Structure formats: structure tokens, C-alpha cells
Structure 1
Amino acid sequence: MDRTQRLKPADPDRIGGYRILARLGAGGMGQVYLARSDRGRTVAVKLVRPDLADQADFRARFRQEVLAARRVGGLWTAPVLDADTDAPVPWVATGYVAGPDLQSVVEDHGPLPEHSVRVLAHGLALALRDIHGVGLVHRDLKPSNILVTADGPRVIDFGVARALEAGPDGGLTRTGALIGSPGFMAPEQLRGDRVTPACDVFCLGSVLAYAASGRPPFGEGTSGVHALMFRIAQEPPDLDGVPESLQELIGDCLHKDPAARPTLGRILERVPATLPHPWLPSTVLTQLASEAAKLLDLENPGTSEPPAPVPEPAPTPTPAPPPPYDPYYDVAAYAGYSPEPDPEPPLQRSAKSTAALIAVALVVAVGAGGSVYAFMSGTPEKAAAPAPTASASPKFGAIPPQYLGSWSAVVPGDSGDEPRNLVLSPGRVGDPVLTLTADGRGYHCVFQAHLTEAPASPGADLRIGPSEVAPGSTGTCNPGRPSTISLLPDGRLHRQTDGTTEYLDYTKGDVSEGS
């Protein structure tokens, strides 16, 4: 199933600094577009509905939720990269994940095998842990908000549902519909009770039941939405078709009492990180390769005219090999990769990338799924050629994964220890990759800073530019100087202010994150 749709005459050519390539769909908040930055990064841009943009209370909530969502790190979500909450029509840009959503995967290929559902459960639990760690509750975890990639699931649209609750209906849209998807909502959502992280655990159980059986655990709603809501609130789930080994875990997640549901930590213990190679059926991997190839054809969106011929380039030295696979950047974003950042020419299709994609499809077709997984996830096969040495490797275009996620520290203050939460998000040189939240007596400061230099190797230090005070800060907040970030042997994160002796060491995890 192709996620992209042709642009319509009324669609914008650009939103902020992004050139619009195609439509990706629409939701309760507005239209979603596939777009590309001038530096070649492919993103998904959500443009808010004009009627919502006119509501001051919605804007305030949207601004707050976008700010919180930008703090979500980790490998299992599509990161929030950019936003303009004060534009005439607000928008938010997230990393584009070149893969189908879980709903279309199940509709096109049937229920996932048991081992795939276990990998799905582990990845979704990690994503929710990152989301909850910054004080957000997703509220609308459903198959269409979960994208499927070769190395695991990615969660999108976290924080969006809460912004839609800003209207005078107190959790209702203007038409009186509950925010969320009835078939995947928790009982407390239907009753209008206080929503907690346990709400997302219930939705996780519904998603896993759907993935394992091909149908929601409380039915499709063909008998009416009110009957569906009654079943969710009062009746046990129907887990027919779910493998017996998964029924206890899913049933525990679907407990009516939020306090009786397992924590995310307990779920992760019950579905440990044992990733098979590959985790998806070969037919789904074929679809992933096909969608990646289609993305390369979106250089001239919205027109049936062929692109202008490209002059044959003059001979050049042998190019550096591309960087390892990074799930935050699609194949097209690496098509014109070079060790040093280039100016902003239009992206051209790389023969190497195209050939690699064709090879992926061919290998899948003959059933060598493990090789395809290794190619798409960056995991070398045992028979593969040795990896290049560090001295021969190009600079990496993305932050190495061991840096990504939430880090926490405390500093002494007038009223006791004051928390510092630092989040490193994926990005290239020039992207805002660091978000630091500092809280103390009389202040709440949020800072953002950009990556200034590509790390020379996966273990190299990160060079971070001066920090800027972000919207939502209160009290006295002063911008900071450039800094260098490194990993200590004991796993802590060390941030040194350049040109000074000032530093702070962080441990993995958010100060506010529960066990």
C-alpha cells in the first residue's frame, strides 16, 4: 500500500523551510505532507486545520505539547524536529519513517507471527517509556499510528490528542466525538476519567491483540460505536486467534482497572529484547523495499511531466561509502551523501542506492530474509567483508545511537537538588539535537542547541553549538556556550562547556521517569 498521494492544486508548495513533495494523509488535527528540507532531509509535516488555528486555547495547548514532544528521544519514535506554533496556520515536522503503518500491514498480509508480535511489544513498550518519561501520555496508540520498519516499530503522533482536548467540549471535538479511536481506547478514556500512562498500556494490549489475530479485541464497531464502547468498558476481550503464549500478557494489559495493568518495565521483562533476523515476514520486507524505492521517485511532485535531463557529471574520485543505516533517515536522504556537508543542490538519484534497493527486493524474492534484514539494519552478515577501519571511515551524518535518548542529573540549589533533563535527538549538522530542561526555585528553563560538527566515528565526541532559550521557559534563563559531549567508560554522559572547566555528568533516563 503506497502511503503517498499526489498533491492537489490548493496544497502549499512549501511549509516553513520544507518543500512539499506529496500528501501522506489527514487526521483530526489536519493534513500531513511528505516534505524535504533544503539540506535534503525527508520529513513529515503536519499542518493544523484552519479552524483549530483560530482557537487561542488550542494554540496554547499545541505549543505546550510540541515543546514536550521535542524532548522525547530514543530509537522507537519518529522525532519532532521542527515546528512553528505561532504561524498563521501552525505546523510541526517529524522525522519521516519510510514504512507502512501496522494497520495496512495486517490488512495486506494478515496477522503477524508470534515472534513478530513479541518484537512489536518490546519496541512499543520502549517507545511509550520514552514518551511517558517527559510527562506525556500518547492517548491515541493505534495501528495507524505505528509505522513498521525493518528494525522495529516506530510510534508517531504522541502528544497530538491532548492538544485537541483544548476546546470547550472538555475532551470532545466540535462534533461531539471522543478524541481517540474507539476500538483502541481505554475504559477510562470512554468514561472521561483522568488519563494516566496506564491508559497507553491498555491501548498497547489492544494493538498487540490486533497484530496477533487480525482484529481488535473488542470488535470492529459494526454494531454501533456505543455497543463497542460498552464492550470495552464492561466485557472481557476476545482473544481468539491470539497465540496462547501471548494471551496472558495481552489480557493483563487489557485489565479494566488501570492500577492492575502491568508497568512498562514489567512488560519489557516479559518480552525481552531478542530480535530475530528478520523480525518481519519476507512479504512485508518486500513492501518495505518497494516503498523505499518509490520515495526516490518523488523529486518532481504533483506533475506528470518527466524531469529535465541531468547532464552527465564529470569523472570524480571514488566516493566515500555511505554511512551505516540509520532508521531516522530514509534511503533517499543518503543518496547524495558525502563526508562533509554540501550546499543545497536538488537531490539526484544515486545509482548505488537504486542498485542496493533492487538488490534488497531480489534477495527478499528468493527468500533470503536474513540478508535483507542485515542490509536494512546495518548488521553485517558473518560472511560479509570486514568493516572499514576507523581511519578509513567517513564522518557519520547522524548522532551515534548510544548517545540518543533521555539523560538526567541534579545540581545543588537553594531548596535542595534541582533536576536537569537532557535529551539528544537524531540529527545532522545544523539540526537542533539537544534539548535541556532545567528546573529550580523560581525558574523553568528549556534550552535547545544544534549539532555543529559530524562525529568522525561512532564513539567520537559530539560538538554542540551555543544553546538558545526555547519557548515555554519561565524565570531567568540565559543562553549557554558551545559544549562537547562524550561518553564515560561507566556509561554516563559527560557534557563539558567549551573554554571553561564547567561540566556536568548525566545518567541514562529521565529524572521524572518511574520504574
Structure 2
Amino acid sequence: MIQPLPPGRARLTGPYQLLGLLGAGGMGEVFLARPAAGPPALVALKTVRPDLDLDDGFRVRFRREIAAAEAVRSPHTAALVGGDASARLPWLATEYVPGPSLAEAVARGGPLPEPVVRALGAGLALALADMHAVRVLHRDLKPGNVLLGPDGPKVIDFGIAQAFDATQLTRTGVVVGSPGYISPEHVNGSRALVPASDVFCLGAVLAFAATGRGPFDDSDMAAVIFRISRGEAELSRVPPALRPLIEACLRTDPAARPTPARLADLLLPERPAPGAFPWTAAVRGQLAAHAAAADACARAVAP
């Protein structure tokens, strides 16, 4: 859940003290951290791996993505706290969400019941609406980029996918995003992406939440791309009342998909009261475990 810091890793990054490792990918690492001075609010601090050589193009792109992420203000996203593209190792910090990713929650507890999927989907749709209102596209909405917090889902990595994600490439012929959770427009490259592209990805995420499998899952990447381009989603296990909404998100024509605001209304006409998110008992147990682990990690590291 939270691992000890890698051997030899510096204990400070920017103004933050690193407490433990939350995760790592091909280019970046994510740490639990807190300010070295000031209020001890926990953050998720993302930085590039120290063994990578960074060119000027990366820093320019990273700076642009920090600015984009800073523009988003939404209760349904993990808020940007700070970042520095000019540091020896560029970094950015967002609020720490003490909960599992959607991918982890479903892997450990199974698919979510329909009422929870509806509430989850409405929150994610509102997150997209807030992003799109300030002209930010997520580009890589997937179960691993959705954190389940005590008061509802939080989208992470919005606006920074281009800077960090090794699957994001601007060269001709390379796909932006994550296999199984990309739109037909993704296949045509980043210049083809529109707000409705994020809606397509959201439809795939909701299918995963409801069934435990992505609608385009296949062991062959070429088959995944083919099925996405043809709109051949496997939705037979989606609850009948949810299926038309997910099918609408997965239409091959971007103009035929619902807007995020419309989708939120269709999924959940009546918004739940603040703080009353209807997580299952299994998810609430995971939330408690994540919060306890973060608290123990913070207590174990001297300020």
C-alpha cells in the first residue's frame, strides 16, 4: 500500500519531506509527503525517476501541464498544491486522497453495485465538466486514475498525463492513453482529441466498475484497437438500466455522445448530500485501511 523509500532516495523534494512510496511507473514515482515546514497536510508528490535524462522539451511540456492542472478547480479532482518544472527533478504535489484506486477497489472487492456506479459516474462526469470548462482535457481517464475518497471519487493526473505518462507520445503513429480506455479519436493521435473523447473513456471506466472488466478487454492490443474503432464493446454483464447510458458514451461519433453535465444528470438526477457517498462496506474498509496506513507512515518518520 505504502512502501518504504527506495534506498538512496533523497528525503526532501522541493519544500516537501518524503514519507513513503505510493507507486511508480516507467517515468515517474509518486510519494506520500508533507511540508518540511508549516501545517503537516499530507500530499501525493509525483516526480520523475532520478536516473532519467530530461531534455528541454520535457520541461516545457511539464510546465505547460502544471499550468493546466492549476486551472482546474473541482471538488471531484485531486487539487494541485504546487509544482516546479525547473527543479533538477521536476515535481508536482496534489492533495492526498486516502483511498484505493478504482482499479484496486474492484480487484479486491469485485464489481460495484448499480447505485454506487451511478454515484461514481456522476462524480466523474462532473469532474470532466469542470476540466472542460477551463479547456483542459484529461486524455487518460482509466480505473487507475480514479481514487475513491471518503466523500466520493477524485480524478487524478488531469492535465499532466502528457508530461508524465510514457504512453503519451506526440510522434506520428503512436497512441495517446491506456489500452482499453481510449477513444477512437485517441487512435488518430493527440490532435484529434476533443472533450467527448474523455466521455468515451468514462464510459469504459463505468463498464469496468459495473462488471470488473473493461468493455474492450483483449489479450491482443491490435484487437483492442480494432474493437474500439468499430464500437464493439462487450457490455452483456452491465446492469440493464445502466447499459444504454454506457452505450451512449461509447458511440464512435464524438458528437453523438452526451456532454459530461448531461451524463451526470442521467446517471444521478438527485445529488447525494455532502459527505454521504454510498460506498459499499468493502470500499469503506479499504478507505479505513488506507487512512490508517498513511497515518502510521507519517508517525514513523520524524519531522
Are the aligned partners of 2:167 and 2:177 in contact in 1 as well (CA < 8 Å)?
Answer: no
Partners of 2:208 and 2:272 lie apart in 1 by 21
Partners of 1:281 and 1:12 lie apart in 2 by 39
For the structure 1 residues 167 and 298, does the alpha-carbon distance in structure 2 shift closer, same or farther, using more than 3 Å as the test?
closer
**Once the 2 structures are TM-superposed, how far is the Cα of residue 300 of structure 1 from its aligned partner?**
5.7
Structure-to-structure mapping, 1:96-135, within 5 angstroms: 96-135=96-135
Aligned AA for 2:289? S
Structure-to-structure mapping, 1:218-257, within 5 angstroms: 218-219=216-217, 221-222=218-219, 224-257=220-253
In structure 2, the partner of 1:214 is 212
**Once the 2 structures are TM-superposed, how far is the Cα of residue 64 of structure 1 from its aligned partner?**
1.0
For the structure 1 residues 75 and 165, does the alpha-carbon distance in structure 2 shift closer, same or farther, using more than 3 Å as the test?
closer
User: CA offsets per residue over residues 137-177 of structure 1, 9 Å max, x none?
Assistant: 000000000000222100000112233599996257xxx86
Bigger radius of gyration among the two = 1
Higher strand proportion: 1
Partners of 1:195 and 1:35 lie apart in 2 by 34
Structure-to-structure mapping, 1:332-371, within 5 angstroms: 346=303
Partners of 1:290 and 1:166 lie apart in 2 by 30
Structure 2: gaps (5+ residues): none
* Corresponding residue SS for 1:299: helix
Structure 1: gaps (5+ residues): 308-345, 347-515
* Corresponding residue SS for 2:127: helix
Aligned AA for 2:160? V
Partners of 2:288 and 2:164 lie apart in 1 by 35
For the structure 1 residues 261 and 236, does the alpha-carbon distance in structure 2 shift closer, same or farther, using more than 3 Å as the test?
same
Partners of 2:72 and 2:291 lie apart in 1 by 26
Out of 178, 182, 186, which is 1:181 matched to?
Answer: 178
Partners of 2:238 and 2:117 lie apart in 1 by 10
In structure 2, the partner of 1:382 is none
* Corresponding residue SS for 1:76: coil
Partners of 2:203 and 2:113 lie apart in 1 by 16
Aligned Cα RMSD in Å? Answer: 2.3
Stretch moving more, 93-102 or 185-194: 185-194
Partners of 1:287 and 1:258 lie apart in 2 by 36
Aligned AA for 2:180? G
For the structure 1 residues 241 and 168, does the alpha-carbon distance in structure 2 shift closer, same or farther, using more than 3 Å as the test?
closer
**Once the 2 structures are TM-superposed, how far is the Cα of residue 235 of structure 1 from its aligned partner?**
3.9
For the structure 1 residues 134 and 28, does the alpha-carbon distance in structure 2 shift closer, same or farther, using more than 3 Å as the test?
farther
For the structure 1 residues 148 and 189, does the alpha-carbon distance in structure 2 shift closer, same or farther, using more than 3 Å as the test?
same
Are the aligned partners of 1:66 and 1:92 in contact in 2 as well (CA < 8 Å)?
Answer: yes
* Corresponding residue SS for 1:298: helix
Are the aligned partners of 1:140 and 1:185 in contact in 2 as well (CA < 8 Å)?
Answer: yes
Are the aligned partners of 2:136 and 2:159 in contact in 1 as well (CA < 8 Å)?
Answer: yes
The alignment of Structure 1 onto Structure 2 pairs a total of residues equal to 297
In structure 2, the partner of 1:18 is 16
Partners of 2:270 and 2:72 lie apart in 1 by 21
Are the aligned partners of 2:161 and 2:168 in contact in 1 as well (CA < 8 Å)?
Answer: no
Partners of 1:35 and 1:178 lie apart in 2 by 32
Are the aligned partners of 1:6 and 1:301 in contact in 2 as well (CA < 8 Å)?
Answer: no
Residue 152 in structure 1 maps to residue 148 in structure 2? no
Residue 287 in structure 1 maps to residue 283 in structure 2? no
In structure 2, the partner of 1:205 is 203
Higher helix proportion: 2
In structure 2, the partner of 1:136 is 136
**Once the 2 structures are TM-superposed, how far is the Cα of residue 265 of structure 1 from its aligned partner?**
2.1
